[in-house]
């Protein structure tokens, strides 16, 4: 890399590292929230979250190790700007592993929602595995050549393939989830608002990760001479980890929203037409005449129990009793 542009190389890497660190803090907060709210979740889900949390913090450590090597240890040595530190290469691998785990989680969700339909699940899993293989090869080539110039020559196609496949998987997962949620809508509309929220949330999270990958790939293809693509790439893994954790923690909001909505909507029908605001005399008769007594006030206590299914495991919500004066 002759005459490197420092703002677009080391500067881009620094900004990307700082932003990735902020997202890493978000991942830590979401992880703590998850373990506090879902202590009874399955061991497999807890293990997945623990692994992703560990990998995310390891990813952050490698980012800062890269910044130390590039900005402090190699300070003033412009000829070393082209070199690839080993920790930068490992951030690519960790991002690939986190992406693989998150994609597998959503593929499992598609598998359950589609009633174990392998026809739509297998393509997602196959592309997910291809993405992991492409990233593994890219990491090996970074460690082998140790030069961004040589990596652009020999590894450009495989790195581009990995980013393209990752974007394709995000699109497939988003489309399949939206389709499955819409197909589960009922004619009665009782739970349609839940599916509407899930559809909107699936579009938002899928679009965010896909957009991040597409922008990274665009910078890599159009501006390979700088490191803007790398500054964006270190953020991608954080986006995937955040999308998974927010998806799991979103269950609390869903159940609370369901309970609140039910209390507002499930009102008992009006059984009497007399106005309850009419004045009465001391004997308890209506002002219109002594022959009409106020009907006995009837109270109906409505208690409903709603069971909401999340990824094969039911989370039940007991809605509080609602007193209606009729």
Domain end call among 261, 290, 316 = 261
**What is the DSSP code (8-state) at residue 261?**
H
Tokens matching residue 311 = 């990824």
Same-domain check for residues 280 and 249? no
Same-domain check for residues 113 and 257? yes
Per-residue pLDDT in tens (0 to 9) along the chain, 326 residues: 556 778 888 999 999 999 999 999 999 999 999 999 888 889 999 999 999 999 999 999 999 999 999 898 888 777 778 899 999 999 999 999 999 999 999 999 999 988 889 999 999 999 999 999 999 999 999 999 999 999 999 989 999 999 999 999 999 999 998 888 777 666 555 556 666 666 776 777 778 888 999 999 999 999 888 899 999 999 999 999 999 998 888 776 555 555 454 444 443 333 333 344 444 444 444 444 444 544 544 445 444 454 445 454 444 333 333 333 33
Same-domain check for residues 119 and 158? yes
318: phi then psi, degrees, rounded to nearest 5: -95, 115
Same-domain check for residues 236 and 288? no
**What CATH number does residue 173 fall under?**
1.20.1070
Q: What is the domain extent for residue 291?
A: 268-325
User: What own/partner pairs with CB < 8 Å and gap ≥ 24 does 253-256 have?
Assistant: 254/194, 254/197, 254/308, 254/310, 255/308, 255/315, 255/317, 256/317
Q: Is residue 1 part of a domain?
A: no
CB 60 within 8 A of CB 24: yes
Give how far Cα 299 sits from Cα of 149, 264, 276, Å.
Answer: 79, 17, 14
Domain end call among 224, 245, 261 = 261
Give how far Cα 152 sits from Cα of 6, 25, 82, 138, 293, Å.
Answer: 18, 32, 11, 10, 91
CB 20 within 8 A of CB 242: no
Among residues 302, 298, 301, 303, which one has the least CA distance to residue 326? 298
Q: Is the dihedral of CA 270, 275, 279, 284 positive or negative?
A: negative
């Amino acid at each position: 890399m002759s005459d490197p542009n420092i703002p677009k190389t080391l500067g881009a890497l620094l900004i990307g590292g700082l932003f990735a660190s902020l997202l890493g803090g978000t991942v830590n907060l979401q992880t703590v929230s998850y373990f506090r709210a879902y202590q009874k979740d399955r061991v497999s889900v807890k293990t997945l979250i623990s692994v992703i949390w560990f990998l995310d913090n390891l990813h952050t450590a490698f980012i800062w190790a890269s910044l130390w090597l590039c900005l402090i240890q190699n300070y003033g040595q412009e000829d070393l700007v082209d070199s690839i530190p080993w920790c930068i290469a490992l951030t690519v691998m960790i991002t690939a592993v986190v992406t693989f785990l998150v994609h597998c989680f959503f593929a499992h969700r598609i598998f359950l929602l589609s009633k174990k339909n392998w026809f739509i699940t297998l393509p997602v899993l196959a592309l997910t595995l291809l993405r992991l293989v492409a990233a593994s090869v890219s990491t090996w080539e970074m460690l082998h050549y140790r030069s961004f110039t040589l990596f652009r020559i020999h590894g450009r196609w495989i790195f581009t393939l990995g980013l393209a496949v990752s974007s394709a998987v995000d699109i497939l997962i988003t489309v399949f989830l939206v389709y499955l949620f819409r197909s589960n809508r009922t004619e009665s509309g009782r739970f349609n608002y839940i599916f509407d929220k899930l559809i909107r949330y699936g579009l938002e999270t899928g679009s965010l990760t896909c957009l991040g990958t597409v922008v990274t790939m665009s910078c890599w293809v159009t501006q390979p001479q700088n490191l803007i693509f790398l500054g964006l790439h270190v953020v991608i893994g954080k986006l995937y980890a955040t999308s998974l954790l927010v998806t799991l923690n979103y269950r609390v909001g869903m159940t609370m929203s369901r309970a609140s909505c039910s209390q507002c909507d499930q009102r008992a029908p009006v059984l009497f037409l007399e106005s309850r605001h009419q004045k009465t005399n001391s004997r308890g008769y209506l002002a219109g005449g002594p022959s009409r007594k106020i009907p006995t006030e009837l109270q109906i206590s409505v208690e409903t129990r709603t069971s909401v299914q999340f990824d094969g495991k039911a989370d039940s919500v007991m809605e509080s009793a609602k007193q209606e004066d009729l």
